[in-house]
Amino acid sequence: MKAPQDTDWPMPLGIPPEALVEIQAQFSRGWQKVLAAARDGSLASPSDRRFRAQAWSANQGAMLMAHAYLLSAHAMQSMVESAQMPEPMRDRMRFGVQQWLDAWAPSNFLATNPDALQTLLDSKGQSLLDGLNNFMHDVQQGRMSQTDESGFEVGGNLAITPGQVIYENHLMQVIQYEPLTPTVHQRPLLMVPPCINKYYILDLQPENSFVRYALESGFRVFLVSWRNPLPDDDDGILSAGWSDYLKEGVLQAIEVVQGVTRQPKINALGFCVGGTLLSSALALAHAQGDDPVASLTLLTTLLDFKDPGILEVFIDELHVQTRERQMGKGGLMTARELATTFSFLRPNELVWNYVVSNYLKGEVPPPFDLLYWNSDGTNLPGPFFAWYLRNAYLENRLKEPGAIEIDGHRLNFGVLDMPAYVYGSREDHIVPWRSAYASTALLKGPQRFVLGASGHIAGVINPPKSGRRSYWAHDEIAYGCDQIPADPQQWLEQAQEHRGSWWPDWAQWMASHSGPKRKAVKTCGNAKFSPIEAAPGRYAKVRAL
């Protein structure tokens, strides 16, 4: 993923003259067409949602400005595509130009947004005052409000599935949930969420809680709740690295679940970075002579970082070295910086949309549990982040057998031969679904790949009761890994689309690997791992500064 050196690119950088002439001609033809439509009164509103409000179509000058902006944006994008440059450089140029274009859209400014101006007139200036108040509130809290946060509370109406914290160390807590069915499958399930976010994305409210759904499906559920480190923590967490998260995080949690349930093998599920950690921990366990997991579920997980999606624009040797100097020996990668980065991956949806509604129009965003969770980020120990950045994103070493060594043990995903359920989201911009699919080439057991609609989060959190979206899968509930095509496009062409949520498909697959059912035990923990506090626990309630 390193950018090619100058000597790797023999042609001079720039746009071929003939391409530039064609781009100019296209712009001229488009503008003449817009002017002609304006003269005869047939100029239609742009399809872009930023200009859909009635106030835009009612204002001819604003309509012309919107069309001019879109034509100019298309011309600039065409220049990037036509330029002679290495693809990594083009990716960065494409990203940078798009950021500039999105920022300078006429909808983002009061004087050039007729919808905001109409709101100002209709409210007799109140929208401007409300917008200024919203802006000052966000300045004081240090982040942009994406939802009305007053209606949510972790442990109040979020993360309320009954359970107990039965173990904790300086990196994580283990939650055991109380059963919700009279009988439960014998083999327990441990969920490993990403440490980059709070775990309760898997347990939002009862109607969209994946944890609750698993419990209602008859599974015994345990979950890792990662700690949110703060700048003044002095117990060693600020120097924690990748190996610490494997040994004292994932493997320790597996040991707790084994001890409580007296099951030598458990089922395990990893989400996003949690799946990368889980797979790495299982490879470490195998290298140590242990094989503690009977089945593996990976949700929007990267094991092969060859194509990490749009995040690739941030990754090069200089950037990684800078991060290593800043935090490789200790310190924090802050939740605020992480949140800003992820927001600007989709700026029109997660930044400028709120600039317009919150500040220009003085509106309060509606309550939305997923966006509340999105604002409740976690800090990461600097050494963990720097190691992950280099070894996964920059050098893609995790997928190479034996390339990573921990405590004298070399890791190899190829030894993971347990049945695996691998899920990707079709519109995922953080873990492209084809990159999630690439995990099937590294794992060696029987596998089922399922592709859900929507993006990184909304595709995963899609409860059956909502009746929304769809997923693609092969009709067989499980099949050997030698039957999975190497080409993800070939897999997609052979897959069938099913309406609704993929959760029941997963539950059916999981049941086949969870053993017989027996009477549920209501109490949590045991003599060694006794309850410490009720779920969601202290770690989930700590907010990043």
**What is 384-422 written as a DSSP string?**
HHHHHIIIIIIT--TTSTT--EETTEE--GGG--S-EEE
Q: How far is Cα 544 from Cα 376, in angstroms, rounded to an integer?
A: 7
Residue 195 known to be catalytic:
no
Q: How far is Cα 288 from Cα 251, in angstroms, rounded to an integer?
A: 12
What are the structure tokens assigned to 3, written together? Answer: 């950018």
Q: How far is Cα 113 from Cα 136, in angstroms, rounded to an integer?
A: 21
Range 273-284 burial, b when 16+ CB lie within 10 A, else e: bbbbbbbbbbbb
Q: Is 72 buried (19+), middle (13-18) or exposed (0-12) by CB count in 10 A? A: middle
**Which of 195, 272, 481, 524 does the annotation list as catalytic?**
272
Q: How far is Cα 170 from Cα 229, in angstroms, rounded to an integer?
A: 9
H/E stretch holding 57 reads: helix 54-57
Q: How far is Cα 463 from Cα 541, in angstroms, rounded to an integer?
A: 25
Among the listed residues 168, 216, 157, the one whose alpha carbon sits nearest the alpha carbon of residue 189: 216
C-alpha distances (whole Å) from 376 to each of 196, 407, 536, 544 are: 10, 34, 14, 7
What are the structure tokens assigned to 49, written together? Answer: 């949602």
Please state at what angle helix 126-141 crosses helix 114-122, rounded to 10 degrees: 110
Kindly list the catalytic residues: 272
